[in-house]
A = this chain, B = another copy of it.
């Protein structure tokens, strides 16, 4: 591979990936609506024809970019090998908070689009939320849950999803204005809120 990667013959797969990387990078500082064919052309010389070779239309490209962003969030918040589940949770929350800080404009536009009228984006968003909730239960593990007095029931999952809504709400507000709350304090408060909510 030479340094002039853009000029060597790329596989369709790599080219598609490259377009998605670009879209995800642009999403850090632009809203979804701002990611237009014109912007792609301006930022990376991507022509209308090239985009339409890999994606049916701009909307399909937006959906693929959101799917990629959501996969990124899932990956960076993966649990590390830390003994204490609460510490582990705080570390994952830290990765999420940092992601929102670095990608504020795009992230807010993504959650607004998902919460608003776009059914396809809502489905992607809700799947991601469900996967994150499932992982919370995996992290905690049945023994730890039992020790906390938490029963892994439908009711508990309802509350854990509510906690996820709280985390998103507080994080977006905090990134916009920290209200004098230090990052570590924020993470501790968010992590502690989970057992506080689900423990009967």
Residues of A within 8 A of B (CB): 111-113, 115-117, 153-155, 157-159, 161-170, 173-174, 179-181, 185, 189, 193, 196-197, 200
Contacts and interface: CB of A to CB of B under 8 A. Distances in A.
Nearest to A165: B169
Contacts of A155: 179-181, 185, 189
Given A165-B168, A179-B154, A189 B159 contact: yes
Contacts of A189: 155, 159, 197, 200
Instruction: Give how many copies assemble into the complex.
Output: 2
A162 B158 contact: no
Contacts of A193: 159, 162, 196-197
Contacts of A173: 158, 161-162
Contacts of A180: 153-155
B167 A179 contact: no
Contacts of A159: 170, 189, 193
